Amino acid sequence: MPRLTLDGIAKSFGGVSALDGITLDIAPGTVHAVLGENGAGKSTLMNILSGLYRPDAGQVALDGRPVPPGDPKRALDLGFGMIHQHLTLVDRFTGAENVALATGGRLDRGLVRARAEAEALAAELGFTVDLDAKVEDMPPGMRQRVEILKVLVRGARIVVLDEPTSVLTPAEASGLMAALRRLAAAGRTVLLVTHKLAEVFAAADEVTVLRRGRLVATLPIGKVDADGLAALMVGADEADMITAVPAATAVIDSHATPVLEVAGLDIDDDAGRSAVRGVSFRIAPGEVLGIAGVDGNGQAELAEALAGLRRPVAGDVLVDGVTVAPGRARERLTRHRVAYVPRDRHHTGLVLDMDGARNLILRDVDRPPVRRRFGLIDRALAARRLTQAITEFDVRGAAHGPARALSGGNQQKLVLARELGHAPRLLIAEQPTKGLDVAATAFVQRKVLELTRSGAAVLYISTELDELRTVADRIAVMSGGRITGIVSRAEADPQTLGRLMGGGTARPASDTRTGDAA
């Protein structure tokens, strides 16, 4: 008998279909991956399973018994355990206290029992976890193990993980995939929602692909390859475009003036604490330098400082050999031709209540040719830029309505169209494909690599190691606010990058030659 049965599940929002007749059986003791582009219906389906959404039609059954729809507590009691991408832990509590809190027991009387059960499960799964440590002091991998223990102690028979490796090092991600296999071997059912094909092949027994709210295939993992999954996710017509992203192939001139040179940069965070210390590197014309590392190791502060949005404590930044004044974002845009794609397109990349045309003129809305006499805006110019963005960047749905109505991929294309539309010498791209589906990700990567053909340089910050190994000529790794090593793409195997992400060193942590690893 299937552990989980979905029979004709349908859900619409405002007349737009999010799920259309999803029917699926999932066996006990298996890892079942769910793949699909943004908007394919993955999150909607998981929210229905966890009781957050009530389906318009269809039924969910657990071990052959119907599950009452739209009841989150009942779903928990029946054995559904949801582990979200953004963990739901109390940072000031210990691991054991978080487990006890999740079980509904009092922290005084329930703590001993919760700890004992969590320790037994951790031993069973091969987890290394300090249940007496506060969550705020734990590394990301240990935090996630506490989250898993929470749902298991509560009695979860079906464990749903949404993009679980987004903040993990390669070693931690590999360990998690092995733990999921052990969970399945112990009789539990695991639903793995991910966009990383490597995770599917590392852990899953079966894979289900959703496209535009419909189930297009459910296959044993041994019957499909990466190209086949890409074609199922986006359709055969677009699959070739996804797999055709060329690798970075910069020819580095060691005698050329670097487009970007960073020397001894120290940066504090918003609370005045040290975020970046002693960072130095160079990027040659036509080169992509990737920045790898677990999120929160100084990458955001580095990007903001280079874009002029944060004033460094010490150090120098040079663009084309000219020292850039600290904290002058406007000067970097106009004089030094620095473009910036921020990590948060909703809050810092776009004005969501503005339409596409107005978002495209934000960089130069205060000067000609956009700003005309008497402070008037050249609306015809803005409209032409929108037409160009729609044509060259395939921005869909931007002709009418606010930017908030666009999909995540189209919002990011709008940001990219604005920043690349000014022929930058330097592009700072911070998590430019975060939250994007495989088609939008491939599109962004191609546009970035096209820019380098003009001699522009790119600083490409990402937590996705496979992505960096595709687009970057060299990869610098940040850990604890410092660069622990800079390696060529050929040297950037997962083991080396993982060691550097953990704070180890493979090479000196600064450049001494343009285009060469330090």
Same domain, 53 and 130: yes
Q: What are 407-440's pLDDT values in tens digits?
A: 777 888 899 988 988 889 999 999 888 767 777 7
Read off the pTM: 0.69
Nearest alpha-carbon partner for 86 in 341, 269, 295 = 295
Q: What is the rounded distance in angstroms from the CA atom of residue 143 to the CA atom of residue 156?
A: 18
Q: What is the pLDDT of residue 111?
A: 83
Beta-carbon contacts of residue 440 (< 8 Å; ≥ 6 apart): 37, 38, 408, 409, 410, 412, 413, 433
Q: What are 284-328's pLDDT values in tens digits?
A: 999 999 999 888 889 999 999 999 999 999 999 999 999 998 877
Q: What is the pLDDT of residue 48?
A: 92
Same domain, 33 and 85: yes
Last residue of one domain, picked from the residues 187, 210, 243: 243
Q: Mapped to the 3 state alphabet, what secondary structure does 51-67 carry?
A: CCCCCCEEEEEECCEEC
Alpha helices in 164-296 (DSSP H): 170-185, 197-203, 226-234, 236-243
Q: What is the pLDDT of residue 184?
A: 92
Q: What is the pLDDT of residue 318?
A: 95
Q: What is the pLDDT of residue 238?
A: 54
Same domain, 182 and 303: no
Q: What is the rounded distance in angstroms from the CA atom of residue 153 to the CA atom of residue 157?
A: 10
Q: What is the rounded distance in angstroms from the CA atom of residue 486 to the CA atom of residue 290?
A: 9
Q: What is the rounded distance in angstroms from the CA atom of residue 414 to the CA atom of residue 394?
A: 9
Q: What is the rounded distance in angstroms from the CA atom of residue 357 to the CA atom of residue 402?
A: 10
Beta-carbon contacts of residue 346 (< 8 Å; ≥ 6 apart): 352, 404, 411
Q: What is the pLDDT of residue 105?
A: 59
Alpha helices in 244-393 (DSSP H): 299-306, 329-334, 356-360, 379-393
Q: What is the rounded distance in angstroms from the CA atom of residue 181 to the CA atom of residue 152?
A: 15
Same domain, 136 and 223: yes
Same domain, 90 and 230: yes
Q: Residue 389: inside a domain, yes or no?
A: no
Do the Cβ atoms of 437 and 38 come closer than 8 Å?
yes
Q: List residues bridging with 283 in a β-sheet.
A: 260
Angle at 317 between CA 315 and CA 318, to 5 degrees: 140
Same domain, 79 and 204: yes
Q: What is the pLDDT of residue 7?
A: 94
- As given in the structure block, the two tokens for residue 190 are 């695991």
- As given in the structure block, the two tokens for residue 15 are 């007349």
Report which residue type is found at 171.
A
Q: What share of the chain is helix, strand, coil (3-state, %, to 5)?
A: 35, 25, 40
Q: Which residues of the chain have pLDDT under 50?
A: 508-510, 512-518
Same domain, 331 and 432: yes
Same domain, 271 and 314: yes
Q: Residue 403: inside a domain, yes or no?
A: no
Q: What is the rounded distance in angstroms from the CA atom of residue 368 to the CA atom of residue 329?
A: 18
**How far lies 40's CA from each of 151, 191, 214, 337, 423, in Å?**
26, 16, 8, 38, 34
Beta-carbon contacts of residue 44 (< 8 Å; ≥ 6 apart): 11, 18, 19, 53, 213
Q: What is the pLDDT of residue 158?
A: 92
- Cα dihedral 33, 38, 40, 42 sign: positive
Backbone angles phi, psi at 317, to 5 degrees: -125, 125
**What CATH number should be reported for the domain holding residue 187?**
3.40.50.300
Do the Cβ atoms of 455 and 286 come closer than 8 Å?
yes
Same domain, 23 and 139: yes
Look at the chain and report how many structural domains it folds into.
2
Same domain, 235 and 267: no
Same domain, 264 and 224: no
Same domain, 165 and 83: yes
Per the structure, the complete domain to which residue 307 belongs is given by: 260-337+423-501
Q: Residue 218: inside a domain, yes or no?
A: yes
